[in-house]
Amino acid sequence: MMRSFLKFSAFMLMRPSEVYELEWADIDTDAMRLRKARRVYRGHVDEPKTGPKTIALTAPARDAIIGLPRDGRLVFRSKMGKRLSASTMQRYWDLVLAKAELDFDLYHATKHYGVHYMWTKLGLSNRAIAAQAGWSLKTVDKMLAVYGHGDVGALEEVDAAFANNVTPILKVAGGEQS
């Protein structure tokens, strides 16, 4: 369940509070869309921070939930079958962090990974990432600077681009140089 939650959250760019209140009825696997309509805020169900939106159901996120039981309204539930909460998820997350010997919060782990992957690995446009994450186009550059980690792997990308290329001849005034 935790693995499914993490994978789903990362590849949907959703806040944990939005995933806690996600219902099976919000997911349309045929159209590959998801209606982000609710979140848990201070223990109460409220609208998502960026308002209700329809976003793309990504294939990795769909695959993360495909085997989950559909015997209740909510997609993700605690071991006792209840709605997840920040405190419940923190207990689960603490176990993950201890096992992996890491120290960062759940939201940043999923959001940073998902944005970085979509931006640098898939090459999605700023516009597409903004739509999926619920960001405005005015703030997308700032948000990508925070969440995208565009510098991670950048040098390896340069290495790969030149790995199989023959060095071009540079023509300069007065002759050629190689």
d(CA 123, CA 145) in angstroms, rounded, equals 15
Task: Return d(Cα 136, Cα 132) in angstroms, integer.
Answer: 10
State percent of the chain over pLDDT 90.
54
* pTM exceeds 0.85: no
Using alpha carbons only, what angle is made at residue 32 by residues 30 and 38, rounded to the nearest 5 degrees? 115
Q: Are 61 and 4 in contact (CB under 8 A)?
A: no
pLDDT (tens digit per residue) in 38-93 = 999 988 999 998 899 999 999 999 999 999 999 999 999 988 889 988 888 888 88
Q: Which one, of 111, 128, 7, lies nearest residue 60 by Cα?
A: 7
**101-156 confidence digits (pLDDT tens):** 878 788 888 888 999 999 999 999 999 999 999 999 999 999 999 888 888 888 98
